Amino acid sequence: MHLAIIMDGNGRWAKAQNKNRTEGHKVGAEVVKKITTYCSNNPEIKYLTLYAFSTENWKRPKMEVDFLMKLLDNWLKKELETYIKNEVRFEVIGDISKFSKKLQKRIEITKEKTKNFNRLTQILALNYGSRDEIIRAVKKLCDKNLEVTEENISKNLDTANFPDVDLLIRTSGEVRLSNFLLWQVAYAEMFFTPTLWPDFTEKELEEIIENYKKRERRFGGI
């Protein structure tokens, strides 16, 4: 199963506790660890894609963007041992060429050091936007002189090596996709929970998965 999560609500969580938004992001990062560990121990889940930074998130105040970049760098450095311990392969979708050289290097190192693991593949969506991804894919088709087919588009998206999403969850009560995996969720089952990301737990995820299993997926058939 490929599970994808729009991790939303860090800012509102912090505000509710009279804290700075950055505190919400810090706690949110701990939840990433918790949920990834849970998924690595659930043999049904093979791919976990997490929306961490969108192509639109550059619109936020510079201080918040800088904080998120720093948090990501520190996180990857600190958590490498957790990826190794849990045998989680780290992958990225999105255009990371806009990130600092240092952060790009950190991302490459993490990918390289975890590339042979297969208990779970965790895919972070970083400077990711579905429209940007589709535009880049179509450009690749033009450059390679390839026919425009569903297969060729899929194979040239950032998700080329991953299956379509089966289950999409968004936290924080917003009911929208915010430019996340538009092509890949064509037949995904979707769940929207009011829980803010820093409050999301393994138990709630387990309940959503149980509910997902009861749904009948028809893919256009009968």
Residues forming contacts to ligand IPE in the complex (CB under 6 A) are: 6-12, 51-54, 57, 68, 172, 174, 176, 178
Taking the complex as a whole, the smallest distance from the CB of residue 160 to ligand IPE amounts, in Å, to 21
Q: Are 118 and 89 in contact (CB under 8 A)?
A: yes
Site mask, Mg ion, residues 7-46, x = CB under 5 A? -x--------------------------------------
Q: Which residues pair with 121 in a beta bridge?
A: 47, 89
Query: 62 or 144, CB closer to ligand IPE?
Result: 62
Taking the complex as a whole, the smallest distance from the CB of residue 179 to ligand IPE amounts, in Å, to 8
Angle at 108 between CA 65 and CA 133, to 5 degrees: 65
Taking the complex as a whole, the smallest distance from the CB of residue 11 to ligand IPE amounts, in Å, to 3
Query: 9 or 168, CB closer to ligand IPE?
Result: 9
Count of positions (residues) in the chain: 222
Q: Which of 174, 68, 185, 188 is nearest to 130 (CA)?
A: 185
Query: 174 or 206, CB closer to Mg ion?
Result: 174
Q: Are 183 and 20 in contact (CB under 8 A)?
A: no
Q: Are 65 and 16 in contact (CB under 8 A)?
A: no
The structure tokens 């919400």 sit at: 24
Range in contact with Mg ion (rule: CB under 5 A) among 1-9, 33-41, 86-94, 154-162: 1-9
Q: Which of 62, 58, 54, 49 is nearest to 22 (CA)?
A: 62
Query: 61 or 220, CB closer to ligand IPE?
Result: 61
Using CB under 5 A, list all residues that contact Mg ion: 8
